[in-house]
Structure 1
Amino acid sequence: MTATFRKLAEQVVARHDDHLLDYGPDKQADRVVAALQRLNRIVDLTPAIGTDIDLAGFGKVPAQYASGNDSYFLLSDASEQLGWFHPRACKWAEKRFAWAVQEQRRIDEERGDGRLGWECLTGHVDLELHLCVDDPQAKPDAGGRRWSDSGDWLISTDRIPDLLASSPWGKEFMDNSMDAFRHAAREIFGDKLKQSPVIGPDGQPTGSNAYDLFEPQLPKDEALRRARRGPALDDEEGLS
Structure 2
Amino acid sequence: MRTKERYRLLIDYFTQNFPEPETELAYTNPYELILAVVLSAQCTDKRVNMVTPALFEAFPTPEHLAAATSDDVLPYIKSISYPNNKARHLAGLGRMLVEQFGSEVPSTVEELVKLPGVGRKTANVIVSVIWNQPAMAVDTHVFRVSKRLGLVSKKARTPLDVENELVANLPTELIAKAHHWLILHGRYICVARRPKCEICPLSHFCAFFQKNFPNIPDDPENKLSSL
Q: TM-score range by the shorter chain?
A: under 0.3
**TM-score when scaled to structure 2?**
0.23
Greater strand share, structure number: 1
Structure that is richer in helix per residue: 2
Q: Name the larger-Rg structure.
A: 1
User: What is the TM-score with the length of structure 1 in the denominator?
Assistant: 0.22
